[in-house]
Amino acid sequence: MVRPAKPRYVQDEPRFGYFKPKGIPLRELEEERLSVEELEALRLIDIECLYQEEAAARMEVSRPTFHRILKDARAKVTRCLIEGKALGIEGGNYILAGDTRIFACFSCGHEWNEPFGSGIRACESTCPACGGKTVRRADCKGRRARAPGRACERSNPGQETQEETVTRGSD
């Protein structure tokens, strides 16, 4: 059985829903669908000029997953440009990230804000109040999470990998 894909974090909803060749009615065109997370991948790489590792951290996916999202997005945009197709932007599996994320400590219950895009993940954080390493995202209701005690996917160079203890609300 295939594991369900976890939602990707995106900064904003797209401002425009369609792009098409000039002078041809939309009803006469073939259409490609670009998901919101594919658009976000293009934005992070081509507009913000981030490396794939940094962009993957912002979307909270692995680098190989980010690469697949980016590869699919570039192929769709290229087909539209070369073959004269319309490009529709909608849907996908994403969460709006906002400007900050809320982290919470299991040990003492302290909550604090981390800026979105800082690259800091809950599994790599230490509670500023008690120094505990059992930190989770408090603003991810409904997201699936790894079981407590599983290792964090990304480690900091020169630092020991902390255990992932991320759990999500059940509502």
In angstroms, what CA-CA distances link 129 with 37, 95, 118, 166? 34, 28, 20, 18
3-state helix, strand, coil in the chain (%, to 5): 25, 20, 55
Q: Which residues of 27-56 are buried (b: 16+ CB within 10 A; e: fewer)?
A: eebeebebbbbbbbbbbbbeeeebeeebbb
- State which amino acid sits at residue 135: V
Q: Which residue has the higher pLDDT, 102 or 52?
A: 52
- State which amino acid sits at residue 20: K
Q: What is the pLDDT of residue 137?
A: 78
Which pLDDT tens digit goes with each residue over 37-50?
A: 999 999 999 999 99
SS3 111: strand
pLDDT interval class at 3 (50, 70, 90): confident
